[in-house]
Amino acid sequence: MPFKKPVQKFSAAINAVELGVGENKIVLGGQNVMPFYTFDNEIANPPKVGAEISDMGFEDQVQGITGFYADCASVADMAKKAAALDSVDFICLRLESADPNGKNAPVADCVHTAKAVSDAIDKPLVIIGCKNDEKDAVLFEKVAEALQGKNALYLSAKEENYKSIAAAVGLAYRQKVGAESSVDINLAKQLNVLISQIGVDGKSIVMNLGSAAAGYGFEYVVSTMDRVGAAALSQNDTMLQMPVITPVSTESWSVKESIATQEDMPHWGSQEQRGVSMEIVTAAADLASGSSAVILRHPASIETISKLIKELI
Amino acid sequence: MALKGLDIFKLTPKTNCKDCGNPTCMAFSMKVAQGALDISKCPHLSADVLEKLAESTAPPMKSLTVKAGDTEYKIGGETVLFRHEKSFVSKSLYAFSLCDTMSDAEADAALDASLKVDYERISERMYAEFISVTYEKNADRFVELAKKAMGTDRGIILNCTDFEVAEAAVAATAAAKPILNGANASNYEKMSKLATDNGIILGVGGVDLDELYETTEKIEALGNKNLILDVGCRSIKSAFEAAVQIRRAALLNKDRVFGYPSLVNVGALASGDENMQAALASLFTLKYGSIIVLEKMTYATSLAVHGLRQNVFTDPQKPMKIEPGIYPLNKADENAPCAITVDFALTYFVVSGELERSGVPVNLLISDAGGYSVLTAWAAGKLSASSVAKFIKDYDVENKIKNRTLIIPGKVAVLKGEIQDKLPDWKVIVGPNEAVALVKFMKDFAS
């Protein structure tokens, strides 16, 4: 008796969301099968890999990251250097300096940086804020104004500040809104509904479902993504069909396994390799669970994950 | 075709004798129908009823016992494709590789390096459970390496499709119950006999899914159902397809021919590329690899991959707990202050991570709170002034630590007065509401 292959093809699909403009623009989502299940149906838009840079630079990072950007004089230079990699699909600029509890850089300075980065690269841009809800709301409005026509994605609008961000980014300046929830399908859906009610088209929303490093409660990430994917594809839930983007780098490079020095943990071996492995393992698990894009920091992680995607699609 | 609980119930004695450990025959039948219990647990069924039911009530995927030294592990036995549907039951196991082309020095070095990765993370031993030994061309070396692997506390996988060589290697390692990964379309009869004669698991391979399916069917026809399916190493894409299709066929289509655990050799799929092997180990830990073979086990790969596995194979209905006790951070000694929180693993990770980032020496006290988070534990009465005082007493904190400062979670600030009353010698301080504020809090506290 020959093997009868099971097939799970769904009539519903994840939204296809365009980022950037021109010949290097990318599409997130669009698939109607489970992650990498190319044997069920063709996957038109492979998951994308973004390189994270920060307006505070990477001075305290491992050699592989600082070394890569060593010859860069400005944030725009860093963006350009990362964007030149074939394995990089988009650039993710973190406006860390804006943090009121940190450097508290004025919004105008961040806008200037964002504009310079955008002008320096020909790949799509994702803007990450400083994680302060109020500052991000002001920041995103001004950056979106400066980047009109660039079709950038802003991470993220949260329950606390979605109103002003969605109105500015999604409605006034017609770019893409990142909706960030904290690893819970109901919260994710509720935020998508709220942002849609403001008038933002569901097809202009990308979800950040929240993330964790492998080993740090990652089971919640897996199950949330599994359930969101199932609701989107098999139940045709239009409020959960937004593609998912996962910032892997921040979580991966802040856990003990990545920050303990070799002096502290001699038997653990190279700190850099531990961080790279953590970033790679977390990213691969996010992609296998349904992320349409991951944001990474180390050039070696970017190369490996990009290759993994090519091998699987 | 799966039977319903009622159909099974009709065939039971309906005496509610409880000999099976269930309160009623009905309860027993329902569990059998769900695949949670084996029909043979009822001692009062006649042989022909058993036979009639055994096939139709057998779980969709076989559960096998594998030996790694003196430790036994279960592989397979999964009933769902996604953990939130119920739970995954058998965690993926990992292996590192030896090959007969390695010189003595190389083999010793490889063995030594990978065996060193062996540690505990939240009450679980983290290490590569297996050593995978591959035959390429030198039969004597192969057997020698297999014997060498037997001298460790790890399980053995013999990768060898040559029958005579396999026979010699199995003879040399039979006591360790190795997995013989080597059956294919042309040798399956001899290989299957070798495996069944020695009571060991047989690994089956094929050039594609169809050939794997047909060979597995033929081996089953010989009466051997102690199998593991090798997803192959033609390409990453085909290995992924095979891993998914095998599991999906078993659980979704109830196709029992593919109702076996799977073996994925990511070392062969990405030879020489440690980063890609880590990525693949992650992918196949999530998507259905029962045994995952890497070229070597390093701390870098293990810390991430074993952490991932520990997360994914937790039961969604049970919170992940860590052992209550005193955890000194940043080289804290008896003069460092104490901070107390609950034993929910996620809380521990976040809190200990932030405390470590602060660089301030502190003794983190983990109290038994039933695996709940701070607020839930407080609401459930598992984190209270009494529980804190009890912990201080039970764990002999006052004799072990001289410092009398106790930082409590900001979310249970209401407990401050009561704890202070119960611990009059201590200075109780309310910490921040969120772990993320701990770095600043501790730095301010220390200065």
User: Tell me, what amino acid is at B43?
Assistant: P
Give the pLDDT score at B2: 55
Q: Which is it for strands B93-99 and B118-121: parallel, antiparallel or unpaired?
A: unpaired
Q: What is the pLDDT of residues B83-115, one digit of tens each?
A: 999 899 999 999 999 999 999 999 999 999 999
From CA B363, how far away is CA B340, in angstroms rounded?
8
Q: Which DSSP category does A71 fall into? A: T
Q: Name the DSSP letter for residue A98.
A: G
CA distance B210 to chain A (A): 6
SS3 B359: coil
Closest-CA residue of B relative to A254 is B353
Residues B140 and B212 grouped into a single domain: yes
Pairing verdict, β B262-265 and B227-230: parallel
Q: Name which of B131, B140, B219, B136 is nearest B176 in CA terms.
A: B131
Number of domains comprising chain B: 3
Counting as low any pLDDT under 70, the low residues of chain B are 1-3, 55, 57
Query: In B153-208, where does DSSP find H-type helix?
Result: 163-173, 188-198
Peptide bond before residue B387 is cis, with ω within 30 degrees of 0: no
Last residue of a domain, which of B57, B79, B94?
Answer: B57
- Domain end call among B312, B334, B358: B312
B172 and B74 in one domain?
A: yes
Instruction: Please classify residue B357 by burial: count the beta carbons closer than 10 Å to its beta carbon, then call 0-12 exposed, 13-18 middle and 19+ buried.
Output: middle
Chain-chain contact of A6 with B236 (C-beta, under 8 angstroms) = no
* Chain B interface test: which of A186, A227, A281, A294 (most B C-beta within 10 Å): A281
CB atoms within 10 A of CB B145: 26
Q: Are residues B244 and B279 in the same domain?
A: yes
C-alpha span between B192 and B204 (Å, rounded) = 9
Residue B318 in any domain: the answer is: no
User: Is residue B390 situated within a structural domain?
Assistant: yes
Q: Are residues B245 and B336 in the same domain?
A: no
B111 vs B115: CA distance, rounded Å = 6
Answer whether B343's CB lies under 8 Å from B361's CB.
no
**B190's tokens:** 């001899």
- Whether residue A214 and residue B82 make contact (CB cut-off 8 A), yes or no, is no
Give residue B1's pLDDT.
43
Residue B91 sits in the same domain as residue B34: no
Are residues B290 and B369 part of one domain? no
The DSSP H or E segment spanning B364 is: strand B362-367
Tell me: do B416 and B384 sit in the same domain.
yes
How many Cβ atoms are within 10 Å of B103's Cβ, its own excluded?
9
Residues 6+ apart with CB under 8 A from B176: B67, B69, B150, B155, B156
Burial class (CB in 10 A: 0-12, 13-18, 19+), B310: buried
Give the minimum alpha-carbon distance from B304 to chain A in angstroms, rounded to a whole number. 5
B255 contacts in A (CB within 8 Å)?
3-4
Q: Report CB contact under 8 Å: B311, A1.
A: no
**Closest by CA position to B94, among listed B63, B126, B122:** B126
- Select the residue of B244, B281, B353 nearest A37 (Cβ to Cβ): B244
Which residues of A fall within a CB distance of 8 Å from B214? 2-3
Q: What is the pLDDT of residues B33-70, one digit of tens each?
A: 877 777 888 888 888 777 777 767 677 899 999 999 88
Q: Taking Cα atoms as reference points, which of B124, B159, B153, B101 lies closest to residue B291? A: B159
Query: Which of B84, B209, B358 would best serve as a mutation to test chain A binding (most A beta carbons within 10 A)?
Result: B84
Query: Quick check: A269 and B310 CB within 8 A?
Result: no
Q: Compare all CA atoms of chain A with the CA of B250 and give the residue at the minimum distance.
A: A6
Minimum-distance CB partner of A4 among B121, B244, B253: B253
**Integer Cα distance of B267 and B262 in angstroms:** 15
pTM: 0.89
The rounded distance, in Å, linking the Cα atoms of A35 and A284 is: 11
The predicted structure's pLDDT at residue B58: 72
In degrees and rounded to multiples of 5, residue B347 shows phi and psi of -60, -45
Q: Does domain A35-312 have CATH number 3.40.50.300?
A: no
Q: How many interface pairs between A and B have CB atoms less than 8 angstroms apart?
A: 177
A301 to chain B: closest CA residue: B275
- Look at residue B11 in the predicted model and tell me its pLDDT: 83
Give pLDDT < 50 ranges for chain A: none
Q: Are residues B71 and B206 in the same domain?
A: yes
Closest residue on chain B to A268 (Cα): B299
Query: What residue in B sits closest to A304 (Cα-Cα)?
Result: B276
Instruction: Identify which of A219, A282, A308 has the shortest CB distance to residue B83.
Output: A219
Let me know: does A294 contact A248? Beta carbons within 8 Å.
yes
B79 and B187 co-located in one domain: yes
Of A305, A261, A260, the C-alpha closest to A279 is A305
Least CA distance to A34: which residue of chain B?
B244
Do A223 and B214 count as a contact with CB atoms less than 8 A apart?
Answer: no
Q: Do B300 and A39 touch (CB under 8 A)?
A: no
Q: What is the CATH number of the domain that holds B27?
A: 1.10.15.40
Block residue for tokens 């980032």: B357
In chain B, the residue whose alpha carbon lies closest to the alpha carbon of A223 is B84
A304 vs chain B: nearest CA distance in angstroms?
6
The residue in chain B having the minimum alpha-carbon distance to the alpha carbon of residue A38 is B241
Question: d(Cα B391, Cα B142) in Å, to the nearest integer?
Answer: 55
Judge contact between B365 and B338, C-beta under 8 A.
Answer: yes
Distance of CA B280 to the CA centre of its chain: 17
Looking up tokens 């096998």, which residue turns up? Answer: B64
Chain A residues inside the 8 Å CB shell of B252: 6, 8
Domain boundaries of chain A, sorted by first residue = 35-312
- Residue at a domain's end among B278, B312, B346: B312
List, in sequence order, every beta strand (DSSP E) within B86-218: 93-99, 118-121, 124-127, 130-134, 155-159, 179-183, 202-204
Among A36, A230, A284, whose Cβ lies nearest the Cβ of B279?
Answer: A284
Residue written as token pair 């202009």: A204
Which H or E element spans position B63? strand B63-68
**Hey, what amino acid is at A204?**
S
How far is B158 from B134, CA to CA, in rounded Å?
6
Select from A5, A37, A268 the Cβ nearest to the Cβ of B299: A268
Are B241 and A214 inside 8 Å of each other by CB? no
**What local confidence, expressed as pLDDT, does residue B107 receive?**
95
Q: In sequence order, which residues have a C-beta less than 8 Å from that of residue A39 and are 6 or more positions away?
A: A5, A7, B241, B244, B245
Residue B333: exposed, middle, or buried by beta-carbon count in 10 A (0-12, 13-18, 19+)?
Answer: exposed
Provide the token pair at A305.
């994950």
Confirm whether B320 is domain-assigned: no
List strand residue ranges (DSSP E) for B392-447, in order. Answer: 405-408, 427-430
Beta strand ranges found along B251-344 (DSSP E): 262-265, 291-293, 325-329, 338-342
Residues B68, B188 share a domain: yes
CA B322, chain centre distance (Å): 16
Contacts of A312 in chain B (CB under 8 A): 236-237, 240
Please report, for residues B188, B222, B244, the alpha-carbon distance to residue B215 in angstroms, rounded to integers and kept in the order given.
7, 11, 19
pLDDT of residue B60: 86
Q: What is the pLDDT of residues A230-267, one digit of tens each?
A: 999 999 999 999 999 999 999 999 888 998 889 888 99
ipTM entry: 0.97
C-alpha distance from A276 to closest chain B C-alpha (Å) = 8
Q: Clarify whether residues B227 and B290 are in a common domain.
A: yes
Dihedral-angle region of residue B186 (phi above 0 means left; psi in -120 to 50 means alpha; beta otherwise): alpha
What value, to the nearest 5°, has the Cα angle with vertex A17 and ends A15 and A18? Answer: 155
CATH of the domain at B124: 3.20.20.20
Pairwise CB contact (< 8 Å): A257 & B241: no
Domain co-membership, B122 together with B139:
yes
Would residue B319 count as lying in a domain? no
Domain span holding position B350: 325-446
